[in-house]
């Protein structure tokens, strides 16, 4: 089987597949059309986010599988892939621990004002009362989306003495770390909201003015899912009013589809970038040295299993 790898990944992925008899060719630079022109030479592709696998791409290919090194599948036209019988593979198990730790890191920085206090001391400002922290112990964390990332986050939050509740569209997911609730319960109880949902029609702008208005208490918001799950203007307004205490965003509404940079800077995003109540990172929650290896290993094993079938 010939496989085209469109993004750079840990070498264990290519090595493992070649040991299994596959021919794996790399193309990390060609544009969409150049890849499309040669796609019929391959039975499988391995992607991250650089090239959109849209309806046109799929209709003009004879692929047996598409493997996404990561969790989200929104850059693949899933309906067309299913129609053509193309197997879709991803690896959310590989970076769930990285994402969960990133969520906790963001929360600790925000509630204990660690980044603010450190910056002040480095600039000769010594303020103790102004930097009094807000403990995680006893707070209610509301997780939306209880897949690999949500479960890993719940496990860590429970270790900090938090009560963890979650909402998911699938039933019967409750475990030792979190209690499944409806959205009304989450609105009324949560002190912290952490998003772990894919980007779909129903989750686009999941957190908007209406969502924020329904929250009964001022809350902390963390988003390590997809940028367009959160409406930037609504969050900026809520930060100004105090309805959102602080926000941690690893993903932004204005990210390019490749996640490599921003399309533009809106006035609301510029406000967040200048606010001490906003902690923003460049889509790196799942981006650790360990997750790079784990995702490559998991994708390799899933592809090998698929070949066996």
The active-site residue, picked from 283, 289, 297, 309, is 283
The active-site residue, picked from 16, 77, 255, 268, is 255
The active-site residue, picked from 113, 156, 226, 253, is 226
**Pairwise CA distance, residues 69 & 263, whole Å:** 23
Angle 119-285-102 from CA coordinates, rounded to 5°: 60
Concerning whether 255 is annotated as a catalytic residue, the answer is: yes
Concerning whether 226 is annotated as a catalytic residue, the answer is: yes
Q: Nearest Cα to 162, choosing from 187, 183, 134?
A: 134
Task: Give me the active site residues, please.
Answer: 226, 255, 283
């Amino acid at each position: 089987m010939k496989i085209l790898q469109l993004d750079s990944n840990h070498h264990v992925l290519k090595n493992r597949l070649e040991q299994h008899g596959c021919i794996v060719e790399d193309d990390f630079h060609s544009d969409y059309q150049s890849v499309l022109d040669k796609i019929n030479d391959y039975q499988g592709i391995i992607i991250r986010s650089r090239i959109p696998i849209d309806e046109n791409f799929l209709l003009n290919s004879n692929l047996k599988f598409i493997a996404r090194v990561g969790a989200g599948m929104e850059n693949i036209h899933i309906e067309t892939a299913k129609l053509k019988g193309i197997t879709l593979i991803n690896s959310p198990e590989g970076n769930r621990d990285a994402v969960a730790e990133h969520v906790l890191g963001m929360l600790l920085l925000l509630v204990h004002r660690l980044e603010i206090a450190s910056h002040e001391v480095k600039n000769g400002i010594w303020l103790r009362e102004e930097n009094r922290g807000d403990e995680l112990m006893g707070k209610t964390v509301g997780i939306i989306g209880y897949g690999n990332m949500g479960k890993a986050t719940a496990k860590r939050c429970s270790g900090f003495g938090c009560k963890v509740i979650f909402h998911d569209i699938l039933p019967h997911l409750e475990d030792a770390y979190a209690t499944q609730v409806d959205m009304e319960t989450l609105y009324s109880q949560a002190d912290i909201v952490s998003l772990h949902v894919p980007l779909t029609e129903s989750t686009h702008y999941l957190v908007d003015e209406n969502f924020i208005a329904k929250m009964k208490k001022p809350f902390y918001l963390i988003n390590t899912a997809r940028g367009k799950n959160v409406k930037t203007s609504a969050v900026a307004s809520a930060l100004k009013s105090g309805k959102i205490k602080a926000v941690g965003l690893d993903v932004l509404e204005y990210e390019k589809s490749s996640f490599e940079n921003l399309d533009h800077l809106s006035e609301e995003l510029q406000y967040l970038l200048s606010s001490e109540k906003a902690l923003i990172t460049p889509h790196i929650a799942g981006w650790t040295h360990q997750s790079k290896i784990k995702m490559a290993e998991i994708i390799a094993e899933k592809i090998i299993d698929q070949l066996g079938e």
